[in-house]
Structure 1
Amino acid sequence: MLNAKVGKVGKVLVCGMKGVGKTTVIEQLVYGNLNPDTELHPTIEDIYVASCDTGRGGARETLRIYDTAGLQGEQAAQLPRHYLQFPDAFVLVYDPIDPRSLDMLADIKSDIDKHKEKKEIPVIVLANVRARAKRDTPPTTPNPVEKIMDRANIWCQRERIKHYTVNAMERPSLYEPFTSLCARVHPAQTKSTFPQLRQVMQNRQKSEA
């Protein structure tokens, strides 16, 4: 799905609370060489470039993916302003084990809506379940992960944004969200906006022949 070919570029910002697996998601999507023992250091800011096959045929589309430092504490409403203005799309990541990471997305989405320069900008939400096995929940206890994801589904429906469940350790689970997002960032172009003008030019060329 992805390689290092550079073409027409769509800018995608990945953000969310610290420790939800943003960098792991991107590294696995682009390189596919991570495992549970891979050590990743906290991100300040990184940029990845990859080309994506949207399934429409023809040239592959290019995404420049911006990995941002994880937010924490009172920074929920403090995503730097320049992050809100340049992207063509946003990917919001949360960990369904931690309800605070979902709550933070609501603040981030509110900031996006306030400062976006385009009327319509694609936003998707990823529930990264890679940490699900860290806690053992007794069978008789309601699964807190499912409760948080149900709440996320309700919020995403209200906000009219797509909600995906992924596992950063399973690369195929990442294909659909980013392929779909890439197709929205690079919409299919129509053949001609002015077919009448094209016909006039063809007739003129025939008459001059």
Structure 2
Amino acid sequence: MLTSKISKVSKVVICGAKGVGKTAILEQLIYGNVTIDSELHSTIEDTYVASVDTGKGSRDMLRIYDTAGLQGNVQLPRHYLLYPDAFIVVYDPSDPASLDMLAGIKSDIDKYKEKKEIIIIVIANMRSRNPRTVGTSANNDVSTNGNHLNHHINSSNQMSSSDRIESNLNRANNWCARERIKHYTVNAMERASLYEPFVQLAIRLYPTQTKSSFQLRQLTGQKASRVDNS
């Protein structure tokens, strides 16, 4: 694997709302050292190089530009829209605002891509979260029945949160289907879940080159006719 031939480098921009886990995804994918306790600072701008094995005998290189998270009406800076071969747009399915940004980012990409064919994929980052117990210190003195009620409220909140995530994932699936964009669900804490979107992206950026058998037969026929005429 270490002796695999390295081909050209494709440029990829990863973007999305602030705090959706873009940097965690890249750090986990490339280094595998991210845990739930890892402290990752807000990104201003950073660059990663990923060597992806797509099973073709050569490793395809992706130069990935990590961008600052977007907030409110802030748009992706124009210089990021001019040079990439592909975009990875990340959102958090528990945060509807991060999902709402997808259409705006896609619109900006379309505006500046001119006639160049740009690949876009969308990643839902299902980040692990430990729900906090509902209640305040004043509830510590309630009766057993009160504790049971708190437990019921907590369970209901978890269920509604799960339903909300499912609803946002369905919205994203429907939007991606209309826009003909690949949609992947990952968890930045689980490295294995990150492989598929990046391998599939590399395959699309580096399609297998096939030689035309028609041209080969045509050339062979020409050579044969010349021999016959001599």
TM-score, length-scaled by structure 1:
0.86
Change (3 A) 1:203 1:53: farther
State the one-letter code of the partner of 1:104. Answer: M
Any conservation in 1 of the 2:14–2:88 contact (CA below 8 Å)? Answer: yes
State the one-letter code of the partner of 2:205. Answer: V
> Which of 175, 194, 197 is the matching residue for 1:177?
197
> Alignment RMSD, CA only?
2.7
State the one-letter code of the partner of 1:114. Answer: K
What do residues 65-117 of structure 1 show as CA deviations (whole Å, max 9, x unaligned)?
11001110120xx2111211211111000001110000011100111111113
State the one-letter code of the partner of 2:61. Answer: T
Structure 1 unaligned segments of length 5 or more: list them: none
Change (3 A) 1:119 1:7: closer
Partner of 2:24: 24
SS in structure 2 at match of 1:51: strand
State the one-letter code of the partner of 1:32. Answer: G
Any conservation in 1 of the 2:188–2:194 contact (CA below 8 Å)? Answer: yes
State the one-letter code of the partner of 2:105. Answer: I
Identity %: 62
TM-score, length-scaled by structure 2:
0.78
Q: How does 1:1-209 map to 2 (within 5 A)?
A: 7-55=7-55, 57-75=56-74, 78-134=75-131, 138=156, 141=160, 143-192=163-212, 194-195=215-216, 199=220
SS in structure 2 at match of 1:108: helix
Structure 2 unaligned segments of length 5 or more: list them: 133-153
Any conservation in 2 of the 1:7–1:51 contact (CA below 8 Å)? Answer: no
What do residues 148-192 of structure 1 show as CA deviations (whole Å, max 9, x unaligned)?
111111111111101111000000000000000000011111225
Number of residue pairs the alignment of both structures matches: 202
How many Å separate the matches in 1 of 2:128 and 2:195? 20
SS in structure 2 at match of 1:143: helix
What do residues 38-76 of structure 1 show as CA deviations (whole Å, max 9, x unaligned)?
111111111111211112x2211111111001110120x
